Structure 1
Amino acid sequence: MDKSLLDDLEEKRRLGKAMGGPEKLQAHAAAGRLNARERLDVLLDPGSFVEISVLARSQLPELHARTPADGLVCGYGTINGRIVYVTSEDRTVQAGTRGRVAEKKTNRIRTLALKHGAPYITLMEAGAGRFQEISGAIAADVGYRFLEHFQMSGKVPQCAVFLGACFGGPSFTAMQSDFVSIVRDNGYIGMSGPPLVRVGLGREVTMEEIGGAVKSARETGQADYLADDERSALQSVRDFLSYFPSNADEAPPSAAPEPAPVDSEEGRERIAALVSENGRKPYKGDELVSLLVDGGKLFPYRASYGRSLFTGWGRINGEVVGFVASNPMVLGGALDDKAAIKARKFVDICDAFHIPLAFFIDCPGFMVGPEIENKRMVSLAARLLNTMAGCTVPKATIVIRKAIGLAYLALGGRPMDPDVIVGWPTSHFDPMGPLAGVELVHARAIANSDDPDALRAELIEKAKKDADCYRAAELALIDDIIHPAETRTVIADMITRTAATRKTGFKHRIDP
């Protein structure tokens, strides 16, 4: 082969990797941002990235020379030795807007991820499609990406990282993903940006008002992880995937077992002292769970959203477990709309990828009142119940204190068919709580009593005795009452006992 042909190939490859050129790259770096290729160096194992379609360019004559790789770096590499497919938007090329050729590249990466059973990761920094390439009647043939994300859902893990203002299409596909990380002060999520709001509504708004990182993580829950910088956001993807199989045909990856804090005498004392028999004295749900897991290490899911409930992943004797724990530090552990939305998505993800679940219940019920009804609380509670009823992974339910009404069911109560259900000595069961029950049933008798306060106290005391955990154990409605320090062993035994019947394979899609 003529050497000039090979030289020409190398030159075209070099130009394809040039991105937006030295001036734009320098400005990008001056803003404190990594470029599209540097991000892949952080995300992937060193030296593992293999690029696909580096020679791609826009086919519009006026853009051909100015669109190396058509503004999208994509290919495959490894994270902790396992293959992943990835796309990384290059904001230094045409502001990162998506051209038709870049969309073809993305389609190829998604197709290969699904075909090869590997996670798909998208690093996003720009808005929707490149207007000059999709305007007019050709718009009738755009949007296949949404179908592709749906086809991957529940089959391979999907991750999205918001590194810039990604209004429109990128926001939609990110919401179809299983894990969304966003960078504080840089990432933005929304239907459309300020210019379209100005045109459509005649209003002046900021990007922060539409969907800044803090708003997305705390108020809307559309971001699962709030990162302080780009490196932390990229690391969060590595951490998330460490708990997941590469695809639904595999089991979650095991790791070398580590001791948990509760394995020490000090840890046993800490967990026993953490929860008071006084149901009004709060504690942190994540602190309780951290005492039980290998190395005390947890990876939280939507830590800033629906904070009356902790959700996250950890390990028990090296095996991955998804944890759902009441957090009485917020709303006394009651479930509001945000907590219900978070729990439903979390359980859905764990079930799709065969991750056993452990529930820790200390919940006075779902929130009530006109304000919460305006948020469709009944429908949200019903969706969570449906998800729990359909969940087939092994489930351990540990009642810490309050197991009240519908919330008890939604957090893994007996009718949800847990593989083990136990209570701590502080636990109790009731359809609506002793105080509410007494008032509802005995209000007239109390009002007509010579000593209403004394009668009320007597009836409440009787209701509390009827709700006592030992009564539930005597009736064989729960499996046992355990010492708090035995909780880790109960979960570990559940994982061992269910191992022979656990199955892999595609189960269901995961709703946004």
Structure 2
Amino acid sequence: MPGVAGVVQGAAGDPARACVAAYPHREAVQARHRESTRRRVEEAAAMSWSERLAELAEFKRRYHAHGSDRAKKRNTERGKLLARERMAYLCDEGSFTELAGPAHEAGRNTAAVDEPEAPGDGVVTGVGLVVGQPVCVQADDGTVFGGARGTTGARKIERLKRLSIERGYPYVALLEGSAGRIQESIGATSAFVGAGFRTQMELRAAVPTVAAIMGKCFGGPAFYAALSDYVPMVAGTGFLAMSGPSVIRAGTGHQLTEDEIGGPAMQEAGTGMVDYVATDDADCLASIRTFLTYVGAAGRPTADPADRQVPELVETVAERFTKPYDMLQVLRGVLDDGDFFELKSGHARNLVTGLGAFDGIPVGIVASQPNRKAGVLDTKSSVKVKNFLDLCQRRRLPVVFFQDVPGFIVGLDAEREGQVRYAAELLCAVAGVTTPKITLILRKSFGLSYLALGGKAMGADFVYAWPGAEIGLMGPEAAARTILGPGATVDELAKATDDYRAQMSPYIAAGDAYLDDVIAPAGTRQVVCRALTLAGAR
């Protein structure tokens, strides 16, 4: 009996016969589909309207059924919502419209209504309202092939992203899956899979983007997350990495867990790729709704008076410069309704980044955190702030800087980490922000860190300082030791320190027009609200 090669050779000159000869099972499958189609046509001709509507209801049930009962049970046992449940939680009640719901896995006869192996081809796509604004939403279905992407599902996503770009709707991806389905993309045709990355880049430039890590996200989904504005992760069930444990084991022989390579300890605290670690699916989806109020069309309406005074700030911020305090208390004191949406709270904690609002105007916040490494700038915090400023520039958010910074960290480790390069990139990012920039100096601002956190020379629209703030190339004690050298006496150092401190007064900078004003701490909110309006933020 001839092998496949012999059969194919015997069918030379007839490509159709050659294909069937090489894959003999296909002929039987295609014959069954043709027979099924013929029966459907005959039956449809004799159907009443009630029968046709009943057929439609059954059709929708099958294609909205998610994966197997076993997969759905496993999903529920892990405390996870199904894809359509996530959609319902995220979107305003009754507002979601699904697109391409009946789509199925590639290679299936579209006329057949048998139970699909991959309902929706493993992804639900559509448009809904989130806090009143239209949003394009994609939800991976982890109960279908573990969320692995099929070619039909990829087309659904591509169509939705194009709609988002054309209409200007924010795009939310609820991710739970690996890269492309190997069965459909292992051959040379996989050379075209990168088209999705190009679209993602266009999408990020055009509209606010969210990539929620709600399951195992290895390969392609991890790259989509890296190209998104906001990346929340669900603790315990969400994992994010370039490759999963099986691929790493096959390639390197190392045995690693999903949590080790892609859990919160790695991707939030370590790399800073994750912006927020949620306790469960509901918490994750609620955070997305909040994020979109800062970057979308819904806005942040408030009844909080713009001229509200904040007298408690003098109790929050310690008078002694070496005593730490929590900058988050300051931010919640001056922002609308005390609301601050912090991003990357577990990463580079010596600098705070996040979103807030002044008098209803959404803004980006960059602030020193004196109770972590005294608020010093280092490599990780420089990258964190630079990436955040890129987000503010893309989404056209004004930026408000709160400075209480002793400078950039110095030493051998800093040089090995390339601190000079990262500091330079941060300066470029600050100067490159073309939205309104408001800067406040609370207690101190020394050296290059003054520029890196919104100094006047970096294009700040308004710069203010609190009374007693110190501004200079370095702190007065360090300046005295540097100038006098190691042979100076204690008395000489003390006198020089006092002399240099007097030269760092904010009143001197204001007198030379390098500051716009020296303000009382209690009036900080009122001053920032007015400055944003004057800078054209409203």
Q: 1:138: which partner in 2?
A: 189
Match for residue 245 of structure 1 among 296, 301, 319: 296
Measure how far apart 1:5 and its partner are: 4.8
Give the AA of the match of 1:476.
A
2:117 to 66, 71, 83: 66
Separation in 2, partners of 1:320, 1:61:
48
Distance, in Å, in 1 between the alignment partners of 2:134 and 2:230 is 18
Equivalent in 411, 415, 426 of residue 373 of structure 1: 415
The reply on whether 1:362 has 2:404 as its aligned counterpart is: yes
Does the 8 Å contact 2:308/2:526 carry over to 1? Answer: no
**CA deviation string 1:11-61 (max 9, x = no partner):** 322211011133321221122111111111111111111111111111235
Rounded to whole Å, the distance in 1 between the matches of 2:347 and 2:288 is 19
SS of the residue aligned with 1:313? Answer: strand
Contact 2:293 2:300 in 1 (8 A): no
Alpha-carbon contact 1:347-1:387 (below 8 Å) kept: yes
Partner deviation per Cα, 1:337-357 (whole Å, 9 max, x = no partner): 221112112112112222211
Paired residue secondary structure (1:123)? strand
SS at match of 1:243: helix
Kept in 2: contact 1:154–1:349 (CA 8 A):
no
* Letter of the structure 2 residue corresponding to residue 256 of structure 1: T
Alpha-carbon distance in 1 for matches of 2:136, 2:418? 38
User: What do residues 217-260 of structure 1 show as CA deviations (whole Å, max 9, x unaligned)?
Assistant: 111101001111111011110000011135xxxxx824133248
Aligned to 1:396: 438
Aligned residue number for residue 98 of structure 1: 149
Equivalent in 193, 208, 211 of residue 244 of structure 2? 193
3-state SS of paired residue (1:165): strand
Task: Provide the residue aligned with 1:383 in structure 2.
Answer: 425
Give, in whole Å, the separation in 2 of the partners of 1:461 and 1:225.
44
Aligned residue number for residue 509 of structure 1: none
Q: Is 1:257 paired with 2:303? A: yes
Cross-structure match for 2:347: 305
The structural deviation recorded for 1:154 is 2.9
Q: Which residue of 1 aligns with 2:501?
A: 464
TM-score normalized by the length of structure 2:
0.87
Counterpart pick for 2:522 among 464, 485, 507: 485
- Whole-angstrom CA distance in 2 between matches of 1:296 and 1:259: 12
- 1:276 positional shift: 2.2
**Pairing 1:497–2:534 present:** yes
Partner amino acid for 2:308?
D
RMSD of Structure 2 on Structure 1 (CA): 1.9
Q: What SS does structure 2 have at the residue aligned with 1:415?
A: helix
1:427 counterpart residue number: 469
- Structure 1 match to 2:8: none
Asked if residue 291 in structure 1 is aligned to residue 368 in structure 2, the reply is no
Q: Output one character per residue of 1:96-134: Cα deviation in whole Å (capped at 9) or x when no partner.
A: 110000000000110101111000010111111110000
- 1:12 matched to 2:65: no
Asked if the contact 2:343–2:354 (Cα under 8 Å) also holds between the matched residues in 1, the reply is yes
Determine helix, strand or coil for the equivalent of 1:148. Answer: helix
SS at match of 1:153: helix
CA positional deviation for 1:404: 0.7
Runs (5+) with no aligned partner, structure 1: 247-251, 504-512
Equivalent residue runs for 1:20-99 within 5 Å: 20-60=67-107, 65-99=116-150
Is residue 342 of structure 2 the alignment partner of residue 317 of structure 1?
no
Deviation string, structure 1 residues 468-501 (Cα, Å, up to 9, x no partner): 22221222221111100111111111122122xx
Instruction: Encode CA deviations 1:55-94: one digit per residue, 9 max, x unaligned.
Output: 1111235998311110111111010111000111111111
Whole-angstrom CA distance in 2 between matches of 1:210 and 1:353: 31
Cα distance in 1, alignment partners of residues 138 and 396 from structure 2: 26
Q: State the secondary structure of the residue aligned to 2:294.
A: coil
Q: Is the 8 A contact 1:58 1:64 kept in 2?
A: no
In the alignment, the residues of structure 2 paired with residue 113 and residue 364 of structure 1 have an alpha-carbon distance, to the nearest angstrom, of 44
1:376 deviates by 2.1
Cα pair 1:128 1:170 within 8 Å, conserved? yes
Q: Is this contact kept in 2: 1:43–1:234, CA < 8 A?
A: yes
In 2: Cα distance, 1:382 partner to 1:273 partner: 36
Q: Is the 8 A contact 1:184 1:214 kept in 2?
A: no
Displacement after TM superposition at 1:424 (Å): 0.4
Q: Of the candidates 322, 325, 334, which is equivalent to residue 376 of structure 2?
A: 334
**Which residue of the partner structure matches residue 6 of structure 2?**
none
Q: Is the 8 A contact 2:66 2:141 kept in 1?
A: yes
Deviates more, 1:50-59 or 1:26-35: 26-35
More relative contact order, 1 or 2 (CA 8 Å, 6+ apart): 1
Q: Assess if the C-alpha contact under 8 Å between 2:302 and 2:336 holds in 1.
A: no
- Separation in 1, partners of 2:157, 2:416: 40
How many residue pairs were aligned? 487
- The percentage of aligned residue pairs carrying the same residue is 36
Partner amino acid, structure 2, of 1:213: P
The CA distance in 2 between the partners of 1:486 and 1:351, in whole Å, is 28
Point out the more displaced range, 387-396 or 472-481. 472-481
Structure 1 or 2, whichever has the larger Rg, is 2
Letter aligned with residue 323 of structure 2: K
Give the TM-score taking structure 1 as reference length: 0.91
Matches of 2:243 and 2:106 in 1, distance apart?
A: 27
Structure 1 residues 131 and 64: CA distance shift in structure 2, 3 A: farther
Gaps of 5+ in 2: 1-46
4+ long deviations beyond 3 Å: 4-10, 60-64
1:229 aligns with 2:229: no
Output the amino acid matched with 2:82: N
Q: The residue matched to 1:42 in structure 2 has which SS?
A: helix
Q: Residue 16 of structure 1 contacts residue 69 of structure 1 at CA under 8 Å; is this kept in 2? A: yes
In the other structure, the counterpart of 2:159 is: 108
Partner of residue 510, structure 1: none
